[in-house]
Amino acid sequence: MSTEQTAAAPADGAAPANGAAGAPRRSVATRVIGRIGGGVAQALLALIALVWLVPTFGLLIASLRSNADNSAGGWWQVFTKPSQITFDSYAALLDKPDFVDSFWNTALITVPSTILVVVIASLAAYAFAWMEFPGRDWLFLLVVALLVVPVQVALLPVSTLYGKIKFGGFHMYGSITGVVLFHVAFGLPFAIFLLRNFFAAIPRDLLEAARMDGGSEWTIFRRVIFPLGGPAIASLGIFQFLWVWNDLLVAMVFADPGAQPMTKWLQSQMRQFTGNIDILAPGAFLSLIIPLVVFFAFQRYFVQGVLAGSVK
């Protein structure tokens, strides 16, 4: 450490926030280069951000123009002809019973899948984290191994299995229940993995004390673990919600037209892409707006989930 190092002023506000603790010292030359480089980085990142926003923005504008306008020219024409903006496509779409039904089906599939995964995985994760039983470590390794299994492996066998489950007027194959259970099963490995790691980090004192107070395992799970697991459960819930809401493949295989979610319905409208822009653009926008709201509202938990989980 030379004296000129100490003489240099601490980095200005352009320095990364996490450098604040160490008060990094930089030579004047580095700072000048940093300033110029910073300017280039600013411009570059602004351009990149624009490139990232334009596609979604284009979809939004396309959904607000008539089919005739869309086939006559690109969405950017609204900058010169703002009068093209119309909500007609949305009105027409919301008048289609098929679409409205599929919207409800999406909710009917997504909400139970999310709740079931959270509950079932919490129970299992608690057992893995805080209960002793023979073969526990091996069983947990199995769950970790299942993290990466592609759904493709299960599509055919489960179709056959579901085909055999029918009683009364109920057919598992094609039903919302079948779709939900499939999503739950394939959501479980990640969910158990995420929650076990979180639960295992809960201070042992807390648990021991609860057990000594004579709390049953069920009470401890309900009163101690579940509330403390809040952030991890929130991450998991958001993940599962988005995963199921956005799914197309599982729905295409297991859902009847009567049980189909929005994604499958929209896919069925794609045979005529250009001609159906007035259905596809607003439909796609309606299907992505709820995930986006969830994303912006719970962004912190979403990012935490990404950081904790990766590997799926």
User: 232 or 284: whose CB is closer to another protein?
Assistant: 284
First-to-last C-alpha distance (Å) of the chain: 46
Q: Binding to another protein by residue 164, rule CB under 8 A?
A: no
Q: Binding to another protein by residue 132, rule CB under 8 A?
A: yes
Q: How many CB atoms lie within 10 A of CB 273?
A: 9
Q: How many residues bind another protein (CB under 8 A)?
A: 133
Crossing angle of the two packed helices 136-146 and 176-200, in degrees rounded to 10:
120
Window 99-118: residues binding another protein (CB under 8 A): none
- Structure tokens given for 213: 């107070």
Q: Give the Å distances, CA to CA, from 111 to 108, 184, 244, 283.
A: 6, 11, 9, 20
Residue from 28, 33, 47, 107 binding another protein (CB under 8 A): 33
- Nearest-approach distance from CB 85 to another protein, in angstroms: 17
Residue from 1, 97, 167, 168 binding another protein (CB under 8 A): 1
Could you tell me which residues come within 8 angstroms of residue 191 by beta carbon, excluding any fewer than 6 positions away? 117, 118, 120, 121, 125, 236, 240
- Nearest-approach distance from CB 100 to another protein, in angstroms: 18
Cα dihedral 110, 112, 118, 124 sign: negative
- Nearest-approach distance from CB 144 to another protein, in angstroms: 5
Site string for another protein, 184-223 (x = CB under 8 A): xxx-xx--x-------xxxxxxx-xxxxxx-x-x-xxx-x
Looking at the DSSP assignment, which residues form a beta bridge with residue 10?
A: 25
Window 255-294: residues binding another protein (CB under 8 A): 263, 266-267, 270, 273, 277, 280-281, 284-285, 287-288, 291-292, 294
Alpha helix (H) residue ranges in 201-261: 204-212, 217-220, 226-228, 230-245, 249-254
User: 74 or 258: whose CB is closer to another protein?
Assistant: 74
Phi and psi torsions of 261, nearest 5°: -80, 175
User: 28 or 209: whose CB is closer to another protein?
Assistant: 209
CB 182 within 8 A of CB 152: no
Residue from 10, 73, 258, 275 binding another protein (CB under 8 A): 73
Judged by CB under 8 A, the stretch of 78-86, 90-98, 169-177, 298-306 that binds another protein is 298-306
Residue from 107, 145, 230, 300 binding another protein (CB under 8 A): 145
User: 103 or 302: whose CB is closer to another protein?
Assistant: 302
